[in-house]
Amino acid sequence: MLELDGSFGEGGGQILRTSLALSLVTRKAFHLRNVRARRAKPGLQPQHLMSVRAAAAIGQAEARGDSLRSSDLVFQPGSVVPGKYHFDIGTAGATGLVLHTIYLPLAWKTAVPSEITFTGGTHVKASPCFHFLDVTWRRYTELLGIQVGLRMIRPGFYPRGGGVVQAFIQPCARIEALRLTEWSEIRHITGVSAVAGLPEQISARQARRAASRLERSAIDVELKQQAWQGGPGTVLTLELDSQPVPTFFFGLGERGKPAEKVADEAAEQALAYLAARQPVDLHSADQLVLPLALAEGASELRVAEVTSHLLTNVAVIQQFLEREIVCEGEEGKPGTVRMR
């Protein structure tokens, strides 16, 4: 049984999710202590608890310590069983993070497709929103040879939640290596300023602010305004026409947060990415290293920013797999990830 410390590196849920995924893929049991020790609310919160229970369900696993706020977890995997599942977080916890926990075991060398329904948050703080998953993450998985279809039935914002997302995961016999080293010039940025259950003038303010902030990039910007069902909540999305997949950034509203601040969050991320001139955005980098660790052949990624999430994920992967992974560059600056 692998002994893992949840307080090292970024000390958050990434350690848990990657450990669960690789435990199911490798059939290695693990003991994780100090779960999410560096977070304001340590231990298993609802979305992390659902990640554990979802992994246990698809992998016929035995889990000890799978309770709310638990800081000590033992996970003993069985065989992964693809099929049809429904996981309800019960709060506005991030549906995308539960998906990230289980998609790889369900795809990796299974025999039949899987259909997963998630209920919870689709656009919540500190997690990939549905549209990022659909626009950027899903396109990257296609390059890897992993086919994941996504559909949002209903959005879910903090604190109400109640969003519904479906994922359709195809079996994958082989994961392809990737070499993403060349910067592609960005010529067009499209986006959506959306409100759900709030006055439409908020979406107009978000769109105006984002357009103003992006003017200095000298790139054509086209933003649409939309009103969604559900909520309350707001989001401002930006899609850059990068190659080989679009790059996506977003800002989210919350109580007491001005519309202009929502737009600023998305615009500042996009401008930082443009300034770095590296192909892989900071969010995709740590998500790509996990499946690439199972790929045949060498991979190389030039990333816009080396983050603590990326470094932590690499360290966890190397606990489960004998794979050489080298991350060059200072944290907070552009860098290169190489897998041999």
Active-site positions read 309
Provide the CA 60 distance to its chain's centre, in angstroms: 24
Indicate the DSSP class of residue 215.
G
Phi/psi at 72 (nearest 5 deg)? -140, 125
Q: How far apart are CA 148 and CA 163, in angstroms?
A: 19
**Pair 283, 132: CB distance under 8 Å:** yes
Contacts of 75 (CB under 8 A, 6+ apart): 19, 20, 23, 29, 30, 31, 32, 52, 55, 56, 61, 62, 63
Closest CA to 123 of 271, 276, 231: 231
Report the amino acid identity of residue 59. G
Q: Is the dihedral of CA 201, 152, 140, 322 positive or negative?
A: positive
Q: How far apart are CA 241 and CA 133, in angstroms?
A: 16
